[in-house]
């Protein structure tokens, strides 16, 4: 009976990290969806501007697309590292349980868990970098006079024609 209690104790600490990592992944995923949505909007607006011969507007969108793509790459890396961390944490839970019966599995669990925490730290640092850069594209838009002369935003203009 004491082995079962030890098994549950071995699962408890990594399970807390699984929950925390899953919440971080949810947050990163929402952020990634927002960035991708904005990127798609700018790509379509650039295409529309290019097709209509509004070269200055297309160049302004090109600059914004490049800025948003850099942010999307940071979030993608954060997302992947957090997912790797989640997989490592779950693996360490299983190895801890196995360590009660197989020599060496507990040591492997510790190594996997430490590697998972390093991945989580790296993912969190990418997330932090992206959050710090989050307003940069809006500030760039504000400074770029090509955006100020566009008139009605494309998403508002399309609704009026329907």
User: In the chain, where are the structural domains located?
Assistant: 2-28+70-151
pLDDT at 47 over 80: yes
Q: Which of 129, 127, 137 lies closest to 27, judged by CA? A: 127
Q: Which residues, other chains included, contact 127 with Cβ-Cβ below 8 Å and sequence gap of 6+?
A: 24, 28, 31, 74, 75, 78
pLDDT at 7 over 70: no
pLDDT at 151: 54
Give the confidence band of 3 by pLDDT, cuts at 50, 70, 90: confident
Are 60 and 144 within 8 A, CB to CB?
Answer: yes
pLDDT at 64 over 50: yes
Give the confidence band of 40 by pLDDT, cuts at 50, 70, 90: very high
More confident call, 127 vs 153: 127
């Amino acid at each position: 009976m004491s082995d079962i209690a030890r098994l549950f104790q071995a699962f408890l600490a990594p399970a807390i990290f699984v929950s925390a990592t899953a919440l971080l992944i949810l947050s990163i995923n929402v952020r990634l969806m927002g960035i991708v949505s904005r990127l798609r909007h700018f790509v379509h607006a650039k295409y529309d501007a290019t097709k209509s011969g509004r070269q200055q507007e297309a160049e302004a969108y090109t600059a914004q697309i490049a800025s948003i793509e850099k942010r999307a790459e940071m979030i993608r890396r954060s997302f992947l590292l957090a997912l790797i961390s989640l997989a490592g944490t779950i693996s360490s839970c299983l190895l801890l349980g196995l360590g009660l019966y197989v020599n060496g599995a507990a040591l492997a669990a510790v190594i996997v868990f430490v590697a998972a925490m390093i991945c989580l730290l790296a993912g969190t640092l990418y997330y932090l970098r992206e959050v710090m850069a989050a307003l940069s594209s809006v500030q760039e838009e504000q400074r770029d006079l090509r955006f100020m002369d566009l008139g009605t935003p494309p998403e508002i203009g399309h609704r009026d024609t329907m």
